[in-house]
Homo-oligomer: A and B are copies of this chain.
Amino acid sequence: MDLTTAFETYAQEHRQKYMALYLALRDAIVHGRLAPGERLPSSRALAADYGLSRGTVNAAYDLLAGEGYVTSGVGRGTFVSRLPAGEGAATAERSAEAVPPRLSAWGARAVSLPPRERAAHGFAVHYGTAETDAAAFPAAEWHRAMYAAARASAAHGAAFDARGWLPLREAVARHLGRARGIAATAEQVVIVNGSMQALALLVQLLVDPGDPVVIEHPGYGGIRRAVLAAGAEPVPAAVDERGLVPAPWRARLLVATPNRQFPTGAVMPLERRLALLRWAAGADAWVVEDDYDSEFRRAGRPVEPLKSLDAQGRVVFVGTFSRTMYTGLRLGYAVLPDALLPAFLALKGLYEPHPTAMTEQRAMAEFMKNGGYERHLRRMKRLYSRKYEALIGGLREKLAHAFATQPQDAGLHVYARWTGSREAYLELIEACARRGVTWTDVSYCDASGEPVCAAAFGFSGLTIEQIRFGLDVIAQAEAEGLGSRKGGIRSV
């Protein structure tokens, strides 16, 4: 490997070349660019590299060795020494005075976005909403698809189609046709690096700073982040037990989760879907349908996605494999109306002219084509149904007085509304966390500013034993809290 030093910089100040080289190498060692134990090039190689005589390089090496920066022996080579403490402590040249960043409007908005919900770590039981069951994942079958994909990927150059790998787009179109009733061609499907990429690009593409965008309230934080990053105005839409409530908004864009509202889990009935599409037609607005969590349906009739009812080509359907496969697989897809496709591809292609994560894309295409994905979905549907029953059964049995729940026809979490005071809820969260049990807090303030306390209990990443154990812990903490409050002066 080449070795780049500050030789030229020092050569401007020092006539003797061996001195410039010595200083340049010493510099690299002291500042950690050359790590202790690293082997320096032979004097012959370094001389050739820098157009110097071997004598010059040897003189520099001798100086370095004399001062202890390197050690060498005949026939062994020259190695960077471990420096004594205090000397060259900086492993990197941090700029002493950092320039205060002057950012664009986009940059300024991006740094001030609300923080992302982060996965909880180190808890005995975390009812997370984005986990999958790693133990039930068909690893061997998936690995075979990945191995084949890995071999194929390196043999090929870059493709120029920002849409993604065609066989995967075909498989997605076929899957959506059957499983979700969406008629899409592979040309209308674009593979993305997770559904958040699609949501952020769509908002960036469709609205300008100040434009109103309808989002659900309560709703998914990622959608709100995308709207805020574009400088647009979030217009909160109310949500009831039948999902988002249509209203005569003035907006260019609406982003919603009709197939399973986040976090409430409400499934929007057909009349409301049609009303939403009528609104979009009247308002000349686009609708983004975030289908983040509706593959695992346990009850109720299959719902027709907005996209399948979209006669005017106003709906973009966004889906993801992160919840059906594993969260580290950052593959999602968007189904775009023809009118929007070129603009979406132009914007995505600006950042990624070539499709990315081709190994994963190829493997996923094969996994879908050979039926592995369908088998996996069927198996997980049964498994997740059992976990769901354990969770909702346990909540009703042990915590019905504390959390109000509704049956959830699909998805991987149970929405539970806290029936007590906000103070008591926050106490419960803290008491449970101390005992190693956490969930996703989805509390919010309603239109009148009143706090609504609620929990999203994800169950997909937990075993049935963990689900039950966690509920026992919560029930016990809740009972103790109730006791302490009863004894005190706090009102519930």
**Beta-carbon nearest neighbor of A182 in chain B:** B33
A480 within 8 Å of B (CB atoms): no
Q: Give Cα A6–Cα B274 distance, bound, in whole angstroms.
A: 13
Contact (Cβ within 8 A) A95 B34: no
Residue A56 is within 8 A (CB to CB) of chain B in the complex: no
Question: Is the Cβ of B352 less than 8 Å from the Cβ of A178?
Answer: no
Task: Verify B153–A352 contact, CB threshold 8 A.
Answer: no
Question: Interface digits, A137-150 against B, CB 8 Å rule (1 contact, 0 not)?
Answer: 10100110011001
Least Cβ–Cβ distance between A359 and chain B, in angstroms? 5
Stretch from A332-340, A386-394, A420-428, A451-459 that touches the partner: A332-340
Min CB distance A305 to B, Å, is 8
Q: Which of B111, B339, B356, B363 contacts A357 (CB 8 A)?
A: B356
When the two chains form the complex, which single residue of B34, B51, B100, B102 contacts A178, counting CB atoms closer than 8 Å?
A: B34
Q: How far is the CA of A111 from the CA of B343 in the complex (A)?
A: 5
Task: Give the contacting residue for A194; candidates B32, B106, B200, B356; CB below 8 A.
Answer: B356
Chain A interface mostly: loop
What mask results when residues 1 to 39 of chain A are scored 1 for a CB within 8 Å of chain B, else 0? 111111111001000000000000000100111110010
A interface bracket (residues with beta carbon within 8 Å of B): 35 or more
Which segment, of A155-163, A234-242, A396-404, faces chain B? A155-163
The reply to whether B355 and A5 form a contact with Cβ atoms under 8 Å apart is no
Q: Is B301's CB under 8 angstroms from A330's CB?
A: no
Please, how many angstroms separate the alpha-carbon atoms of A185 and B90 in the complex? 10
Query: Within A285-340, which residues are at the interface with B (CB < 8 Å)?
Result: 297, 301-305, 308-314, 322, 325-330, 337-340
In the docked arrangement, what's the CA distance between A447 and B100, Å?
35
B302 & A3 in contact (Cβ 8 Å cutoff): yes
| Chain B positions within 8 Å of A309 at CB level | 6, 9
CA distance A200 to B349 in the complex (A): 10
Q: What is the minimal beta-carbon distance from A34 to any residue of chain B, in angstroms? A: 6
How many copies of this chain are found per oligomer? 2
C-alpha gap A93/B35 in the complex (Å)? 62
Contacts of A124 in B (CB 8 A): none
Per-residue interface assignment for chain A, residues 145 to 188, with 1 indicating a CB less than 8 Å from any chain B CB and 0 otherwise: 01100110111111110000000000000110111111111001
**A198 closest partner in B (C-beta):** B351
Smallest CB separation, A227 vs chain B (Å):
11
Q: Is the CB of B351 within 8 A of A33?
A: no
**Set B5, B98, B110: member contacting A350, Cβ < 8 A:** B110
**A93 contacts B354, C-beta separation under 8 Å:** no
Contact A139/B154 with A33-B181, A314-B99 known, Cβ cut-off 8 Å: yes
Q: Are B314 and A358 in contact (CB under 8 A)?
A: no
| Contact A378–B1 (Cβ < 8 Å) | yes
Does A353 sit within 8 A of B, measured CB to CB? yes
Given A95-B311, A252-B102: A194 touches B31 (CB 8 Å cut-off): no
Shortest A246–chain B CB gap in Å is 17
Flag whether A113 is at the interface (Cβ < 8 A): yes
Q: How far is the CA of A237 from the CA of B365 in the complex (A)?
A: 46
Is the C-beta of A229 less than 8 angstroms from some C-beta in chain B? yes
Contact A343 B103 (CB under 8 A): yes
The proximity string for A residues 211-230 relative to B, scoring 1 for CB distances below 8 Å and 0 otherwise, is: 10000000000100110011
- Residue in chain B with minimal CB distance to A208: B104
> Which of B9, B119, B183 interacts with A33 by CB under 8 Å?
B183
**Given A101-B339, A103-B343, A338-B94, A157:B131 Cβ within 8 A:** yes
List 20 A-B pairs, Cβ < 8 Å. Answer: A1-B378, A2-B297, A6-B304, A32-B183, A33-B182, A33-B183, A49-B301, A94-B313, A94-B338, A97-B312, A99-B337, A104-B207, A105-B208, A106-B204, A106-B205, A157-B461, A159-B328, A194-B353, A329-B358, A330-B354
Pick the 6 closest A-B CB pairs, nearest first.
A95-B313, A146-B150, A4-B181, A33-B177, A357-B357, A158-B327
